[in-house]
C-alpha cells in the first residue's frame, strides 16, 4: 500500500469514537451472532470507489445465493469523487446507517484501497456493543478491525465482493470461489480451522491468544494512536501486504520490533505478501526473506504461507477470536476456539 502515514496518524489521533475501551483479554469479548438464512447484510464502500467493471447486480446475486438479503449503501457504488466512494461524510453516513439498523446483521466492505481511517472521527461504533454485527473486509479495513479489537468485538478479516468471481457461471470453480465460500462459512459460523503447508521459514511450537493484525502498512500507521495494537495480553499477530518495496517492509518490521510488539506476541502468522517491489536491490529473493530475520529468533511459533491477504484463496479469519496455533514439520493449523456464552 502507498504510504500516507502522517495523514493516518493525525486522523487516528483525532478519532474519539465515543466507544468504551475493552482489553483483549476481557471475559466478555463480544462475538456477533452468526448469520442465518434470510438475514440481511449491508454493503458499503468506506474507502476507495469501486472499479468501473464491478457489477453490483451480480454481487447481489452472488450473496443472495447464500440465502441472504442484500442492502447497498447509498454511496457504495458512488464514482463522483476522484478516489473515494463519496465524500468522507457520505461514506461515514453509509457505514453509520448500516451499524444502526438492527435488521442488518453484517456489514461488508465492498473494497479497500485507502480512506477508512478518515471516517473514524465521523462514526459512532458504540452501538455495536448493544447490537453486535460482523464487520467484514481486509486491507484498508484493517483500520476498523483495530478499532473493534480495542472495543472488544470480534470481526472478520476476509474477502470483499469486489474480488468475487461474478463472470460466466459455467466456468470451473477457481481460487476466487474458494475465497467467497470461506467468507460464507465464516459468516454462518462454519469456520473452525485453517491449515498451512510446510514452509522452510516456519518456526515450530504451540501458542494460544487472540488473533489481531491485518495489513502491515495500516497496522504500522496506527502506531502512536488509540488504535495501535496492544499486545500486552496474549496475542497472535497476523500480517499481509501488497505492492510494497522490500525496504519499506523492512522499515515496518523495524517499527514492530522497536515498539515491542514482536517481543510480546505469542505467535506470528504471515499471509500473502503480494507483488513486492525491489527485492533484488534489497538483496533478498522475496518478501518472506525480509520478515524472517525479525521473527525466527523470538522463540515463538511462526507460520509463513497463510492463505489470507491480497491473493486467492483469501481465507476468512475471525479477528479478536482466541486461536490455538500449532506448527511442526507437517505444516501448521490454526484452530478458532469456540468457547463463548453467546455462541449458538
Question: 246-258 and 287-295 helices cross at what angle (nearest 10)?
Answer: 20
CATH for 206: 3.50.30.60
The answer to whether residues 320 and 198 belong to one domain is yes
Is the model more confident about 342 or about 121?
A: 121
Say yes or no: 233 and 302 in one domain.
yes
For residue range 137-180, list pLDDT tens digits in order. 999 999 999 999 999 999 999 999 999 987 656 577 899 999 99
Q: Give 338's contacts (C-beta < 8 A, 6+ positions apart).
A: 192
Q: Can you list the positions of beta strands (E) in 48-151? A: 69-72, 104-109, 134-137
Please say which residue of 154, 187, 220 terminates a domain. 187
Report d(CA 218, CA 197) in Å as an integer: 27
pLDDT reported for residue 231:
92
Residues 176 and 247 in one domain: no
Residue 5: band (very low, low, confident or very high) from pLDDT cuts 50, 70, 90: very low
The answer on 141 and 23 residing in a single domain is yes
Residue (of 218, 236, 193) closest to 331 by Cα position: 193
**Residue 252 maps to a domain:** yes
Answer yes or no: is 342 within a domain.
no
- 95-130 pLDDT per residue, tens: 999 999 999 999 999 999 999 999 999 999 999 999
Q: Which of helix, strand or coil describes residue 132?
A: coil
Is residue 41 assigned to a domain? yes
The confidence score (pLDDT) of residue 268 equals: 99
Helix (H, G, I), strand (E, B) or coil at 36: coil
**3-17, 168-182, 241-255: the lowest-pLDDT one:** 3-17
Sequence-distant (≥ 6) Cβ neighbours of residue 33 within 8 angstroms: 105, 132, 133, 342, 344
Percent of the chain with pLDDT over 90: 83
Q: Is residue 341 part of a domain?
A: no
Same domain, 21 and 150: yes
- 278 in Cβ contact with 244 (< 8 Å): no
Catalytic positions, written as ranges: 139, 240, 310
Residues 158 and 284 in one domain: no
Instruction: Assess whether pLDDT exceeds 50 at residue 6.
Output: no
In a domain, 42, yes or no: yes
Nearest Cα residue to 72 out of 116, 108, 38, 37: 108
Span of 52-66, 231-245, 264-278, 279-293 with lowest mean pLDDT: 52-66
**Assigned domain for 43 exists:** yes
pLDDT at 51: 85
The answer as to whether 19 is a domain residue is yes
Per residue in 22-37, pLDDT tens? 544 455 689 999 999 9
Mean pLDDT of 61-90: 96
Among residues 157, 188, 181, the alpha carbon closest in space to that of 33 is found at 188
pLDDT of residue 199: 99
Shared domain for 118 and 101, answered yes or no, is yes
Between 13 and 141, the more confident residue is 141
Last residue of a domain, one of 129, 160, 187: 187
Residues 202 and 67 in one domain: no
* Residue 139 C-beta-side C-alpha neighbours within 13 Å: 26
327 with 277, same domain: the answer is yes
* Shared-domain flag, residues 118 and 237: no
- Domain residues for the domain of 288 are 193-336
Is residue 11 over pLDDT 70? no
Stronger pLDDT, 78 or 144, i.e. the higher one: 144
Given a cut of 60, is residue 17 above it in pLDDT?
no
- Tell whether 181 and 203 lie within a shared domain: no
Instruction: At 288, list the grid cell.
Output: 518472506
**What is the DSSP code (8-state) at residue 163?**
G
Least confident of 86-100, 157-171, 269-283, 309-323: 157-171
- Look at residues 138, 172, 187 and tell me which one is the last residue of a structural domain: 187
299 shares a domain with 158: no
Q: Tell me, what CATH number does 66's domain have?
A: 3.40.50.10740
Mean pLDDT, all residues of the chain? 91
Let me know if residue 328 belongs to a domain: yes
What is the pLDDT, as a whole number, of residue 140? 98
Q: Measured at the alpha carbon of residue 287, what is the angle toward residues 282 and 289, in degrees to the nearest 5?
A: 80
Number of domains in the chain: 2
Amino acid at each position: 500500500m502507498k504510504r500516507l502515514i502522517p495523514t493516518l496518524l493525525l486522523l487516528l489521533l483525532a478519532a474519539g469514537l465515543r466507544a468504551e475501551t475493552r482489553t483483549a483479554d476481557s471475559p466478555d469479548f463480544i462475538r456477533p451472532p452468526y448469520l442465518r438464512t434470510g438475514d440481511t447484510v449491508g454493503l458499503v464502500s468506506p474507502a476507495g470507489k469501486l472499479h468501473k467493471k464491478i457489477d453490483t447486480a451480480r454481487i447481489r446475486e452472488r450473496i443472495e445465493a447464500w440465502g441472504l438479503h442484500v442492502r447497498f449503501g447509498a454511496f457504495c457504488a458512488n464514482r463522483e469523487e476522484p478516489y473515494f466512494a463519496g465524500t468522507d461524510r457520505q461514506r461515514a453516513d453509509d457505514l453509520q446507517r448500516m451499524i444502526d439498523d438492527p435488521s442488518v446483521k453484517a456489514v461488508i466492505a465492498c473494497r479497500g484501497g485507502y480512506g477508512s481511517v478518515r471516517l473514524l472521527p465521523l462514526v459512532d461504533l458504540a452501538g455495536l456493543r448493544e447490537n453486535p454485527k460482523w464487520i467484514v473486509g481486509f486491507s484498508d479495513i484493517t483500520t476498523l478491525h483495530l478499532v473493534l479489537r480495542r472495543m472488544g468485538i470480534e470481526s472478520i478479516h476476509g474477502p470483499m465482493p469486489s474480488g468475487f468471481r461474478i463472470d460466466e457461471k459455467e466456468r470451473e470453480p477457481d481460487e476466487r470461489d474458494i475465497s467467497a465460500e470461506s467468507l460464507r462459512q465464516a459468516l454462518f459460523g462454519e469456520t473452525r480451522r485453517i491449515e498451512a503447508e510446510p514452509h522452510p521459514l516456519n518456526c515450530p511450537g504451540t501458542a494460544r491468544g487472540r488473533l489481531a493484525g491485518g495489513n502491515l502498512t495500516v497496522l504500522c500507521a496506527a502506531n502512536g494512536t488509540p488504535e495501535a495494537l496492544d499486545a500486552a495480553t496474549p496475542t497472535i499477530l497476523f500480517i499481509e501486504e501488497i505492492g510494497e518495496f522490500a525496504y519499506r517492509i523492512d522499515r515496518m518490521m523495524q517499527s514492530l520490533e522497536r515498539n515491542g510488539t514482536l517481543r510480546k506476541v505469542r505467535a506470528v502468522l504471515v499471509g500473502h505478501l503480494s507483488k513486492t517491489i525491489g527485492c533484488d536491490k534489497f538483496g533478498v529473493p522475496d518478501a518472506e526473506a525480509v520478515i524472517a530475520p525479525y521473527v525466527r529468533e523470538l522463540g515463538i511459533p511462526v507460520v509463513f504461507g497463510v492463505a489470507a491477504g491480497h491473493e486467492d484463496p483469501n481465507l476468512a479469519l475471525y479477528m479478536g477470536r482466541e486461536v490455538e496455533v500449532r506448527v511442526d514439520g507437517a505444516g501448521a493449523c490454526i484452530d478458532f476456539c469456540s468457547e463463548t456464552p453467546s455462541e449458538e
